[in-house]
Amino acid sequence: MAAMMIISKHDTGSAVEDVQQRLCVVGLLPEDEVDGVFGDNTEAALRRFCEQSGLPFAQGVDEKVWAALVDASFCLGDRTLYLRMPYFHGHDVLELQQALGALGFFCGEDDGIFGAFTESALRKFQLNMGLPSDGIAGAFTFAAIRNLHHSWEGKSPVHAAPRTGFARAADVLERHALCLFGTSEFTRSVASRMSNLALATNPASKIMSAESLLVEPDDDMLLVRIVLPEEATEGCPRVLFSPAESLAVRLQAAIDAAGVASPSRIAVELPGTVWCEAGPDRSAQHFAITLLDALCTALP
């Protein structure tokens, strides 16, 4: 394979214009400077790029500088991303990692490399949004991320969510109608305990278990099914309970995604029927308290 010709000062043509367009994308060169002529301003922008990228400035664009410039100029959604060898890397991968982290799906280090941790986080996000959990960041996944831009742009990865204050929780319980249900003895117990806790907090609570409803749930109610790992849930967002620290953020994303369906419904997958070697009642109570608190934090 022939070595790349170095693009340097005073060169002209489409190759120079391509370099200038990429420098423009990364914010180092104004659009009106994209003219296909490698002049002083292009050189200054390239020098700044090399400094930011930790590369030596060699008076022009060689293979290493070009590769770094290509990586830096990819934006989220420019290409389909998935786990492969060699790994995808670039600014678009970094944006994906930052978005997933802020939405509660930990990718490991934000390094701009699409490795196994990033794929795992992506699969969990897709499951959370009711999308095919294939680990491929394509059009539907990018659309879901863009729709949630208000929840992740400019925000840091989620490590812990604040607990909901009593006053706000009482208000949320009265304003939002939710029907909680399970299809096993344990998940029905969790749903019933959540309903009892909600009513104890605010007697006017509209967050109730299916067993305590006097009428059939209507289209205005959000249906929240509590499931165990072995239970299937097709066609709706499925939120993993763990890690509990980011549960509220992930619930918020799932509730947003469910809002386009009628009736709106999500599923929450408990890690099992035992919490910290506790008995069934204490375990169910722990899951109920944690999930109700996360729901009150997630609901507007």
Is 85 part of a structural domain of the chain? no
pLDDT values of the chain reduced to their tens digit, one per residue, 300 residues = 345 688 988 899 999 999 999 999 889 999 999 999 999 999 999 999 999 988 988 778 988 999 999 999 999 999 999 998 989 999 999 999 999 999 999 888 888 999 999 999 999 999 999 999 999 999 999 999 999 998 898 888 876 555 555 566 788 888 899 999 999 999 999 999 999 999 988 899 999 998 877 667 667 789 999 999 999 998 899 999 999 889 999 999 999 998 767 779 999 999 999 988 889 999 999 999 999 999 998 988
Measured distance CA(197)–CA(280) in Å, rounded: 17
Q: Are residues 190 and 239 in the same domain?
A: yes
What's the pTM? 0.78
Q: Are residues 220 and 276 in the same domain?
A: yes
Q: Scan for tokens 């700044």, then name that residue.
A: 48
What are 263's two structure tokens? 């009736």
pLDDT digit string (tens) for 11-54?
999 999 999 999 998 899 999 999 999 999 999 999 999 999 88
What are 88's two structure tokens? 């995808």
Q: Which domain holds residue 282?
A: 166-298
User: Which of 152, 178, 200 is the last residue before a domain boundary?
Assistant: 152
Is 159 part of a structural domain of the chain? no
What are 165's two structure tokens? 């204050």
Q: Are residues 230 and 134 in the same domain?
A: no
Q: Are residues 172 and 287 in the same domain?
A: yes
Nearest to 210 by CA among 185, 179, 189: 179
Q: Are residues 249 and 292 in the same domain?
A: yes
Contact residues for 125 (Cβ-Cβ < 8 A; gap 6+) = 100, 103, 105, 141, 144, 253
Bond before 86 cis per omega within 30 degrees: yes
Q: Are residues 170 and 293 in the same domain?
A: yes
Asked if 114 and 86 touch (Cβ cutoff 8 Å), the reply is no
Measured distance CA(100)–CA(230) in Å, rounded: 25
Is 161 part of a structural domain of the chain? no
Q: Are residues 222 and 289 in the same domain?
A: yes
Tell me if residue 295 falls in helix, strand or coil: helix
Nearest to 127 by CA among 257, 294, 225: 257
Q: Are residues 225 and 267 in the same domain?
A: yes
Measured distance CA(198)–CA(194) in Å, rounded: 6
Q: Are residues 287 and 208 in the same domain?
A: yes
Q: Are residues 147 and 172 in the same domain?
A: no
Question: Residue 133 maps to which CATH number?
Answer: 1.10.101.10
Asked if 145 and 102 touch (Cβ cutoff 8 Å), the reply is no
Q: Structural domain tally of the chain?
A: 3
